[in-house]
A and B are shown apart, each in its own frame.
Chain A
Amino acid sequence: MSAIYTTDEYGRPFIIVREQDKKSRKSGIEATKSHIMAAKTVANIVRTSLGPRGLDKILISPDGDITISNDGATIMSQMAIENQIGKLLVELSKSQDDEIGDGTTGIVVLAGALLEQAEELLDRGIHPIRISDGFEKACKIAVAHLDTVSDVIPWSKEDTSDLFKCAKTSLGSKIVNKCHDQFAQIAVDAILAVADLERKDVDFELIKVEGKVGGELADTALVHGVIIDKDFSHPQMPKEVKDAKIAILTCPFEPPKPKTKHKLEITTVKEFEELQKYERETFETMVRQVKECGANIVACQWGFDDEANSLLLQHKLPAIRWVGGPEIELLAIATNGRIVPRFEDLSSEKLGSAGTIREMSFGTTNENMIVVEHCANSKAVTVLVRGGNKMIVDEAKRSLHDAMCVVRNLIVNNNVVYGGAAAEISCSIAVEKAADQVSSIEQYAMRSFARALDVIPMTLAENSGLPPIETLSYVKSQQIKQGISSLGVDCMDTGINDMKEQFVFDPLISKRQQFLLATQLVKMILKIDDVIVHRNDEQ
């Protein structure tokens, strides 16, 4: 161990750094190599899930929860990676997830490939910073090239066919591709419903994705409204309310209590009776107040006891209790209602309105959900995802999220590049060409960058069961020969290499982001030459 120590006048080593013996340290090329090793290992884990024929991973958490996923970010975050560099890669895919929502596998594979290439250069004795400078230069060229090969896809609120195709590309690699079209359509519809087209802003909080085990994926549906995972408070209440006027309350159906600590002493029977009377009266006033303002259904954030419940039933006022905060909010937005904090404030203009509110039951289970449809304001939507088991539902939710992110990105910026690694191959050619004109050591690094870009089409081909090197060289030569940058790897074996014809698109910002983020992270890793780890000697 090469920790920092030195010897004093008697030749005894003495300690400079606190708990020195508990720290391990690696420095120089050895450190860089070990980082590359770690990153490669992590990248190798996710590389098989890239592309439409990519495979899924099963992850079992320490609590025994099972996750099956194809989503890079999910796999990475569930793996509980200990290694520091591995953690950086996890963050990398998380960033891509936060920003773009899609392409989380690709970014990790790219970063891994870049580091693998860097290792070779390091072996040749090139200074790590020169390597990262070269990568940076190459990245600039690649990103500029992306702009030139990008296409603008026209879309409007009426014609969403191209948005639909992009969503399909994103869903291609996921478990839901059985109901490919349906999911893509749901994603497009959901986003368009909530998008603020003028400000080009999409608030994801208005889209709620609910999962329910049972049925099959094809039963997944988009509800222009809200789904609340609750049932009517009393089994005898009507299961469906038409032309609903909904009172949205955040106060319980019980006598109001002061928040200050209080004490009521009851000494006589009379007083007790009075209290009971008071309680009953309050209930009745409350119900009357609700009725008076014209509401025919009540959604309450809190609960109410059985007495109040039966009172509501008597007054033919269906009610939903214990509706969570976010649902209350969505409900209010969807129905254009106002959240009312106390009964006194109820008035008819504060009520929300919805076409139908009905209780939906699922198969033979006793679970019910309340569906609020045909709302006054269609800005809030809910997607109800169905599936055979929890794992599938969860994965479908994640896939849908990715697809929605893609659509969102296109609404914000409708430039696209071609998928199937066409963009990568095209950039690789451009970088290679530019590299020849660089006279310094960076030339090598730039060539390596181009080779790293080639890893993406190769992985795609490999995952799709095609011969990787042959496919890559064929596509590359065709791109150069024909001068068409939209040629890519034909993963689905349709016989067409032109991604334009296959309608495989990726948003430009997603690709750009992948290149930039991966390069910057690689640069950061290459720049580290010293690792000091404080080990916890618990074992």
Chain B
Amino acid sequence: MAGRGQMPMMQPQVIVLKEGTDTSQGVPQLLSNISACQAICDTIRTTLGPRGMDKLIVDSQGRVTISNDGATIMKLLDVVQPAARTLVDIARAQDAEVGDGTTSVVLLAGELLKEVKDYVDEGVSSQIIIKGFRRAADLAINHIKEIAVDTDRSDKAKFRDLLEKCAATSMNSKLIGSQKEFFTKMVVDAVMRLDQDELNEDMIGIKKIPGGAMQDSILVDGVAFKKSFSYAGFEQQPKSFDLPKIVCLNVELELKAEKDNAEVRVDKVSEYQAIVDAEWKIIFDKLDSIVATGANVVLSRLPIGDLATQYFADRNIFCAGRVSKDDLDRVCEATGCRVQSTTTDLTAKHLGICERFEECQIGGQRFNVFKGCPGAKTCTIILRGGAEQFIDEVERSLHDSIMVVRRAVKNQTVVAGGGAIEMEISRYLRETARKIEGKQQLIITAVAKALEVIPRQLCENAGFDTTDFITQLRARHAQDPEKYKWYGVDIEEEKVADLFKKFVWEPALVKTNAIASAIEAACLILSVDETVTSQKSQDPMAAGQPMPGRGRGMPMGGR
């Protein structure tokens, strides 16, 4: 950091770097990086598992977020320490890749570093540790692939069951945990509605309306969006249609200056009317061509003015302007129409159709709902809840579950959660390590130990006797690896149990990805032995805090 004092040195200094640049290097640097990562881990470790707690974070703008999602918390923490940032990045990567397990991945990386910290201190080369880590990762991932249970896809009911279980597991730790039956059904329904090849989660719209209990959330098999701002005359339009024809536009339907910078010179008063008429004609031509197609519902991304609103009202057509792009895209996807950016060549074939359109009241707001869409590869979840932050968190939780279900659809192998798979890999690595000579043995054992952090943290958050549970689990897994393969922490019953039978299932991919990225991140941090921080560019902030001694170098920057 700028202006921080350096160690007093006797020799004359040779200045290589620009003044104010901070460097630190070597093993101590590595150790301090590890401590930084651990500090981050400590922050989020309490969020893991069904008894995990939430964090309330208020940012500098006063926005409040209450979350249990690792990636969200990490992002909001606004971490600047470079090594610790790596952890933030892997949490986000996990979020983007599989959507769930973001807390686990950070914890795992932190724990891996903690386990090897002593080795680093004792002077083991970080390259050896990295090599050991990589090897352990390969072993672990292969082992997961071996033992993961493949499920039968052909049986529709069974497959659905699998998806529901996976969704339920990811919801366990969230605020909606107690309502998981309700939400798993919703999430699985939503994902099943999508195009099974693409599984584009953007096609699942999530709308949030404060008010109502969370059980009042509904899944609409179509599109729903909030009534946009409307002009006078809107209330005179019909508000419900059976089998409406829908047209989506990207056209402004307003009486306005067609060209912004144009100026018309009027020579004679009589021309005045002609210009006005010409302007009216432009808008009326547009409106007429829309009406001519036989559309009942007109949607536009751009505003629909009062004139057009009243014009449509006269002709029993419903219109909504300023519809957001996402919503319009979903309407298109659902009803099979295309967004038109001109009205000149509008024909009936550009129209979409659905079974029913309705404007109805949900909570304190009015919603436009399109139901029963033919090509419906889209759906909308309307979330309800007591407070905005509450719904936000429900949304994040649902997002995680949706991602997990998506993954499970593509990749149908599952493992048991609740720390069972981690214990199993830990056992496997320990056993394998014994057959390996050299320092690698130590490193792989360290990885094995680090993996235990997941069940340990689960117990700790639930208030169980951690040591007791871990030793029990270790013993079980060692006694009969085959029989006790899926033994993990059963939070509900407060004992160790076969979690596969308890249906705590997670897609294998979540775990392989978590282990791979945790180890990658640990390797990355270990391979850094020097940090060079450039002096902060001179900003007004610095003026507030006078720098000690020689820190006030010339403002060399400025360009």
Contacts and interface: CB of A to CB of B under 8 A. Distances in A.
Given A16-B40, A87-B64, A275-B269, A332 B275 contact: no
Interface stretch (B50-58, B346-354, B506-514, B550-558): B50-58
Contacts of A27: 46
Interface stretch (B29-37, B128-136, B470-478): B29-37
A206 B56 contact: no
A19 B541 CA distance: 11
B360 A263 contact: no
A4 B275 contact: no
A332 B29 contact: no
Contacts of A88: 387, 389-390
A481 interface: no
Interface stretch (B111-119, B207-215, B520-528): B207-215
Contacts of B94: none
B457 interface: no
B42 A4 contact: yes
B60 A92 contact: no
A520 B213 contact: yes
B55 A338 contact: no
Interface in B372-421: 385-390, 393
B270 to A, nearest CB: 8
A100 B363 CA distance: 8
B175 to A, nearest CB: 6
Contacts of B231: 325
Contact of B212 (A95, A258, A264, A531): A95
Given A14-B81, A98-B364, A339-B232, A127 B307 contact: no
Q: Which of A31, A128, A339 has the most CB of B within 10 A?
A: A339
Contacts of A124: none
A528 B53 contact: yes
B35 A99 contact: no
B389 A261 contact: no
B364 A532 contact: no
B387 A339 contact: no
B79 interface: yes
Interface residues of A, number: 86
Contacts of A31: 56
A136 B54 CA distance: 17
A262 B55 CA distance: 60
B52 to A, nearest CB: 8
B234 interface: yes
A15 B81 contact: yes
B232 A250 contact: yes
Contacts of B38: 6
Nearest to A5: B39
Contacts of A258: 257, 264, 272, 275-276, 279
B78 interface: yes
A523 B175 contact: yes
B387 A95 contact: yes
Contacts of A100: 211
Nearest to B266: A264
B120 interface: no
Interface in B269-285: 269-270, 272-273, 275-276, 279-280
Contacts of B68: 527
B43 interface: yes
Contact of B55 (A87, A95, A203, A531): A531
A136 B180 CA distance: 13
Interface string B267-305: 111101101100110000000000000000000000000
A527 B53 contact: yes
A4 B269 CA distance: 76
Contacts of B310: 250, 338-341
Given A6-B32, A16-B80, A529-B53, A260 B259 contact: yes
Contacts of A513: 212-213
Nearest to B276: A256
Q: Which of A258, A329, A517 has the most CB of B within 10 A?
A: A258
Contacts of B307: 250, 341
B232 A326 contact: yes
Nearest to A206: B235
Interface in A312-365: 325-326, 328-330, 332-333, 338-342
Contact of B56 (A7, A84, A257): A84
B210 A16 contact: no
A73 B538 CA distance: 48
Contacts of A9: 24, 28-29, 31-32
B4 interface: yes
Contact of B84 (A16, A127, A256, A275): A16
B180 to A, nearest CB: 12
Contacts, number: 260
Interface string A388-415: 0000000000000000000000000000
Contacts of A87: 64
Nearest to B256: A259
Contacts of B7: 10
Contact of B275 (A91, A262, A339): A262
Given A127-B463, A263-B264, A521-B390, A7 B258 contact: no
A338 B4 CA distance: 74
Contacts of B388: 91
A87 B387 CA distance: 9
Given A94-B210, A259-B279, A534 B60 contact: yes
Interface in B90-139: none
Contact of B269 (A257, A278, A325): A278
B364 A260 contact: no
A259 B255 contact: yes
Contact of B266 (A84, A259, A262): A262
Contacts of B175: 523-524, 527
A108 to B, nearest CB: 11
B199 interface: no
Interface in B306-330: 306-307, 310-311, 313-314
A329 B234 contact: yes
Interface in B330-384: 360-361, 363-366
B547 interface: no
Contact of A339 (B28, B233, B256, B269): B233
Interface string B56-70: 111110101010100
B467 interface: no
Given A9-B31, A16-B39, A329-B233, A531 B56 contact: yes
Given A84-B64, A342-B280, A333 B236 contact: yes
Contacts of A4: 39-40, 42-43
Contact of B59 (A92, A205, A206, A534): A534
A29 to B, nearest CB: 11
A532 B257 contact: no
15 contacts: A10-B28, A17-B80, A92-B387, A95-B210, A201-B361, A206-B235, A256-B276, A259-B279, A271-B269, A278-B270, A325-B306, A332-B233, A333-B235, A518-B386, A530-B55
The 9 closest A-B pairs by CB, nearest first: A9-B28, A98-B364, A99-B211, A516-B213, A529-B53, A91-B387, A16-B81, A8-B32, A95-B211
Given A14-B32, A99-B212, 15 more contacts: A17-B81, A91-B387, A91-B389, A95-B210, A95-B385, A98-B210, A129-B51, A202-B361, A250-B232, A262-B266, A265-B267, A342-B280, A520-B390, A533-B57, A533-B58
Interface of B: 1, 4, 7, 24, 28-29, 31-32, 35-36, 38-40, 42-43, 46, 50-51, 53-60, 62, 64, 66, 68, 76-81, 84, 175, 178, 209-215, 231-236, 240, 255-259, 261-270, 272-273, 275-276, 279-280, 306-307, 310-311, 313-314, 360-361, 363-366, 385-390, 393, 462-463
Interface of A: 4-10, 12, 14-19, 27, 31, 84, 87-88, 91-92, 94-100, 127-129, 133, 136, 199, 201-203, 205-206, 250, 255-265, 271, 274-275, 278, 301, 325-326, 328-330, 332-333, 338-342, 512-513, 516-518, 520-521, 523-524, 527-534, 536
